Amino acid sequence: MNSETNSKQALIGLNQTELECICSHLQEPSFRTEQLFTWLYKSSVNSFHEMRNFPNELRQRLHEQYCIHPLELIRVTGSTTESTRKFLFGLQTGEMVESVLMREKNRVTICISSQVGCVLDCLFCATASMGFQKNLSVGEIVDQFLQVRRESQSAITNIVFMGMGEPFLNYDKVIAAADLLNNENGIKFGAQRITISTVGIIPKIIRYTDEKHRYKLAVSLNGFSQESRLKTMSIARKYPLPELMNAIDDYTSNSRHPVTFEYVLMEGITDSIDDAYKLIKLLSGKRCKVNIIPYNEIGGDYHRPPEKVIKAFIAVMKSAPFPVTIRWSKGTDISAGCGQLAVLEKTP
C-alpha cells in the first residue's frame, strides 16, 4: 500500500454504530450510515466514487480522509480454473497474511486467517515458523472475504476460520468479524455456514458457549489421550484433554450444532490402528463429527503416512458411531493445504 493509504482509516471492519460516528464527524444526516454500510458490505465497492447516491462533495471528503480496504491484494497463486487458489495480502502496518479459496463440487470455501503468525508452537504447522506478529483487526479479517469473493468465479458457500493463527486467541475481533459477515443488512452470510476452529483454548470455549454464538465450532484434536496429544500440541499442557472434553460436552449440550473434531494423520504418531480404536472410544457417545486429515508436509520432522496406512486407519473409523469424513487437502502443490500457510518473505 502507498503511504497515503496507510495514513487513512479503513472503513471495512466498522459496524453500523462506528459508521454512524463517521457520518456524524462529517456532519452528515443519520440516513447516510445505512447507505454507507450497504455500499461497503452488500455492494462491496472499491472506491467512494462508486457510491452513486452520495453527493460529489461527500465522496470527495470520504476519499480525502478515509480508505475502504485495510488490505492490499499482493498476489494470487493458482488460476481460476484450479480447485484451490491462495491469496497473499499486505496490511497497512507492513505485515502479510494469506487466505485460501477451495472449490469442491458445489462447495466453495474460503479459509480465513485471524492472526499474522501464531504464538502456539505446533511444530507440524508451517504458521508456527513465523512466530507471532500481531492479531488481525476486524477489518483485516472481513476484508479477506470481500476481496476473495470479488476474485472468485463462483459464490462462496462456506467460511472457515482455519487459516493463519489461533482464532480464539483473537477472540473479540474474530467474533466481531463473524457478526459482520453474518449481518443481515450487509454481507448476510448464514451463521450455519461459518465455522470457527480452535486448538482448544478452554476459557474461550466456555465463553463461546455462554454467549450462545450460532457459528459452528471445530477443535483440533490430534490425539486420543493427554499423552498422545502432547506429542504434537504443547498447548495441551496448559489445557489438558480431560478438561477440554468437559468444556466441549458443555458446548454441545447448549448448542444447536455438534462439535467437529479435526484429527491429523502423522506417520508413526497418530496413524496406527490402535490410535483409531482409541479415538473412537474417546468420542463415542459424544455429539460430534470427525474430519480425518492426512498430514500435509512442510519439510520438517513430521511426515504423511503411506497410503496403505491411511486406508487402514480410515477402514477402522468407518465403524465409529459418529460421522467421519476424510479431508483430502486441496492446494498442497502451492502450499495452501491445511497447516501449510506461512509468509516468510517481506512486504514488497
36 with 11: CB under 8 angstroms? Answer: yes
Q: Are residues 54 and 85 in the same domain?
A: no
Q: Tens-of-pLDDT digits for all 348 residues of the chain?
A: 555 556 799 999 999 999 999 999 999 999 999 999 999 999 999 999 999 999 999 999 999 999 999 999 999 988 777 788 999 999 999 999 999 999 888 899 999 999 997 777 656 565 556 666 899 999 999 999 999 999 998 999 999 999 889 999 999 999 999 999 999 999 999 999 999 999 999 999 999 999 999 999 999 999 999 999 998 888 999 999 999 999 999 999 999 999 999 999 999 999 999 999 999 999 999 999 999 999 887 666 788 999 999 999 999 999 999 999 987 754 444 444 454 434 445 444
Residue 48 lies in a domain: yes
pLDDT at 125: 64
By CB neighbour count within 10 A (0-12 exposed, 13-18 middle, 19+ buried), where does 240 fall?
middle
H-helix or E-strand spanning residue 112: none
Q: Cell digits for 306?
A: 503411506
Q: Are residues 109 and 157 in the same domain?
A: yes
Residue 347 lies in a domain: no
- Three-state secondary structure readout of 156-209: CCEEEECCCCCHHHHHHHHHHHHHHHHCCCCCCCCHHHEEEEECCCHHHHHHHH
pLDDT at 334: 40
Q: Which of 42, 67, 92 is the last residue of a domain?
A: 67
CA distance 346 to 21: 35
Radius of gyration in angstroms for the set of CA atoms belonging to the chain, rounded to a whole number: 21
Q: Are residues 61 and 84 in the same domain?
A: no
Render 262-323 in DSSP notation, one character per residue. Answer: EEEE-TTTT-SHHHHHHHHHHHTTSSEEEEEEE----SSS--PPPHHHHHHHHHHHTT-SS-
Q: Are residues 33 and 126 in the same domain?
A: no
Q: Are residues 201 and 169 in the same domain?
A: yes
To the nearest 10°, the Cα dihedral for 125, 130, 136, 140? -90
Query: CB 278: neighbour CB atoms within 10 A?
Result: 15
Strand 71-77, strand 84-91: pairing = antiparallel
Residue 100 lies in a domain: yes
Q: Which of 45, 67, 89 is the last residue of a domain?
A: 67
Q: Are residues 91 and 235 in the same domain?
A: yes
**Domain of residue 179, CATH code:** 3.20.20.70
Q: Are residues 37 and 92 in the same domain?
A: no
Residue from 109, 70, 114 nearest 89 by CA: 70
Q: Are residues 10 and 130 in the same domain?
A: no
Q: 76 Cβ partners below 8 Å, 6+ apart?
A: 85, 86, 87, 88, 151
Q: Are residues 217 and 258 in the same domain?
A: yes
Q: Are residues 178 and 302 in the same domain?
A: yes
Task: Look up 338 and say whether it is catalytic.
Answer: yes
Question: Which residue is associated with the grid cell 480410515?
Answer: 314
pLDDT at 280: 97
3-class DSSP state for residue 84? strand
H-helix or E-strand spanning residue 101: strand 96-104
177 with 142: CB under 8 angstroms? Answer: yes
Task: Look up 267 and say whether it is catalytic.
Answer: no
Residue 346 lies in a domain: no
CA distance 235 to 109: 28
**Domain of residue 10, CATH code:** 1.10.150.530
Question: Based on the structure, what is the number of domains in the chain?
Answer: 2
In the set 67, 118, 288, 338, the catalytic residue is 338
Number of residues that make up the chain: 348
3-class DSSP state for residue 68? coil
Domain containing 82 equals 74-334
H-helix or E-strand spanning residue 69: none
3-class DSSP state for residue 23? helix
Q: Are residues 119 and 226 in the same domain?
A: yes
Please state the separation of Cα 13 from the chain's center in Å.
16
The model's pTM is 0.90
In the set 98, 140, 166, 262, the catalytic residue is 98
